């Protein structure tokens, strides 16, 4: 009898690997909610409770996207994004701000320090996933 075909798959190409995201928010419930949505959709998510933790994760990269809140202890979202832009390895990494601070002034400041896009909390699942997928694809190309 012919041998059964081996059930092995070739190693995934870079394109097939899940997008890797750092999600920084000081709220446990927000990290759980957004992290859960992203993980269920197939993203690989590393969680950070503040900007300092996020920076440590990003230094161990490569990641395809940073999603961050603005108001956090130890290093806020503005400081985190500004730091991100100064590092050669992450200078072109997309940064998505998800915040309750939707005032024009906050968004303007976020864009000034280098945010790629802003979404306001509470963010809809579809919008979050669409935006994350679009930005992560861009992020992967930036370090490919």
44-54: pLDDT as tens digits: 999 999 999 99
Domains and CATH numbers, the chain: 20-143 (3.40.50.2300)
With both helix axes pointing from N to C terminus, report the angle between 77-86 and 51-59 in degrees, rounded to the nearest 10.
20
Q: What is the mean pLDDT of residues 33-41?
A: 97
% residues pLDDT > 70 (the chain): 89
Task: For residue 54, count other CB atoms closer than 10 A to its CB.
Answer: 30
Alpha-carbon span 136 to 11, nearest angstrom: 21
Q: Tell me: the pLDDT tens digits for 61-106? A: 899 999 999 999 999 999 999 999 999 999 999 999 999 877 888 8
Q: Residue 4: pLDDT above 60?
A: no
Q: Residue 138: pLDDT above 80?
A: yes
Q: Residue 26: pLDDT above 90?
A: yes
In this prediction, residue 12 carries a pLDDT of 47
Nearest alpha-carbon partner for 95 in 135, 52, 143: 135
Sign of CA dihedral 100, 116, 144, 17: positive
Q: What is the DSSP letter of 124?
A: P
Query: Ranked by mean pLDDT, which of 7-11, 105-109, 139-143 comes out on top?
Result: 105-109
- What is the overall mean pLDDT for the chain? 90
In this prediction, residue 13 carries a pLDDT of 52
* CB burial string 21-36: b at 16+ within 10 A, e below: bbbbbbeeebbebbbe
More confident residue, 16 or 86: 86
Q: Which residues pair with 119 in a beta bridge?
A: 98
Nearest alpha-carbon partner for 76 in 54, 107, 108: 54
Q: What is the DSSP letter of 4?
A: P
Nearest alpha-carbon partner for 83 in 95, 72, 97: 95
């Amino acid at each position: 009898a012919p041998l059964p075909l081996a059930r092995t798959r070739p190693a995934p190409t870079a394109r097939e690997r899940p997008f890797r995201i750092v999600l920084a928010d000081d709220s446990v419930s927000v990290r759980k909610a957004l992290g859960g949505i992203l993980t269920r959709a197939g993203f690989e998510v590393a969680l950070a409770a503040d900007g300092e933790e996020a920076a440590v994760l990003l230094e161990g990269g490569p990641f395809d996207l940073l999603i961050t809140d603005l108001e956090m202890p130890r290093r806020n979202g503005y400081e985190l994004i500004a730091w991100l832009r100064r590092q050669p390895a992450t200078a072109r990494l997309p940064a998505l701000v998800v915040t309750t601070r939707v005032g024009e002034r906050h968004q303007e400041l976020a864009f000034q320090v280098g945010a790629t896009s802003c979404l306001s909390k509470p963010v809809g699942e579809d919008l979050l996933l669409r935006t994350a997928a679009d930005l992560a694809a861009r992020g992967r190309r930036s370090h490919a």
